[in-house]
Amino acid sequence: MDPHFRAMLDADAEAAAARNLPALGMLPAAPIRAGYQTQRRALSRNAPAEVATRDLLVSGADGDIAARLYEPPGCDLTGPGLVFFHGGGFVIGDLETHDGFCRHLSALSRCRVLAVDYRLAPEHPFPAAHDDALAAVRWAFAHADEIGFAVSRIAVGGDSAGANLATSIAIDLKDDPAHRPAFQLLLYPAIWPDEQTGSRAALDGPIVTKAAMRWFEASYAAAGHPEVARVHLGSDVLLDGMPPAYIVTAGFDPLKDEGRDYAARLAAAGVAVDHVEYPSMIHDFLTMPDVSPVVVGATRAAAEAMRDALARTDLR
């Protein structure tokens, strides 16, 4: 493991032991969200300040939801753009936890980024987040001129549960010529495959523990729902016609096998896909750029892959 992350995890474990916190399922979501926001903002203090931001409202499935538009200096009046969904198991995470990452990504890609603050569980169980994400992408296409997006160069992306949202949307819209995304940026995606993967079985953390996964799944309550296939993106999901993808996985992440396997499934369906694994990294590492120099390099690689892919897309 990267020594910088190892030191951070050791310090976190020591602090947690001293506080003697209750088990995850014994706490309400609100303090966990607050703690996650505090941690991630503390580990991303050096994000590019020159990236302009504008908070706005976009259409969700049941009314307007918050979003934040990131615009790097010197970008064209209209150009490529990414609709981004934060991770957090559909339960935690918000615009603030991923603000630093979105600033880095926008600056390094020279693309606009629209981060979407979809509704969270358990207050809003499945399919609230998926419905909001789909509505937000449709909003981005409809309002492309207002936010500087070229409609033929709109990508979807996210990390962890946010990558699940982006993947699900790309599946929903792959046969919709008016709203089909041009690219997928999937960062340690939660795919929820048909069977437990080796990495899910073998790894209990760091960051994503087995207890956390159980809590996230119980909170979102997708199991048994007639539309559960929108979350559990297993082998029954047809992937032909999907947009090109860039997929990042981490060596010390329980989700690494499903990300790797999903990349292979895309390739087998004839989809252009680039899978990059960072063997020394942990889940969520891209939201912690101040911890290790590896993070900014990995963000730069993802940004360049997205920029290059969208530059090859014809304007319409």
Quote the tokens at residue 301: 């690689």
**Is residue 167 exposed (0-12), middle (13-18) or buried (19+ Cβ within 10 Å)?**
buried
Residue with the two structure tokens 């939660």: 190
Active site residues: 160, 253, 283
Contact at 8 Å (CB) between 309 and 273?
Answer: no
Task: Extract the tokens encoding 283.
Answer: 């889940």
Give me the DSSP letters along 3-17: HHHHHHHHHHHHHHH
**DSSP helix/strand/coil, 225:** coil
Q: Residue for token digits 């606009």?
A: 112
The identity of residue 24, as a single letter, is: L
Q: CA 102 to CA 69: how far, in whole Å?
A: 9
Q: Do the strands 245-252 and 273-282 form a parallel or antiparallel pair, or are they unpaired?
A: parallel
Bridge partners of 83, per DSSP, are 114, 156
CA-to-CA distance for 246 and 185, rounded, in angstroms?
Answer: 5
Sheet-wide strand order for 245-252: 52-60, 63-71, 112-116, 79-85, 149-159, 183-187, 245-252, 273-282
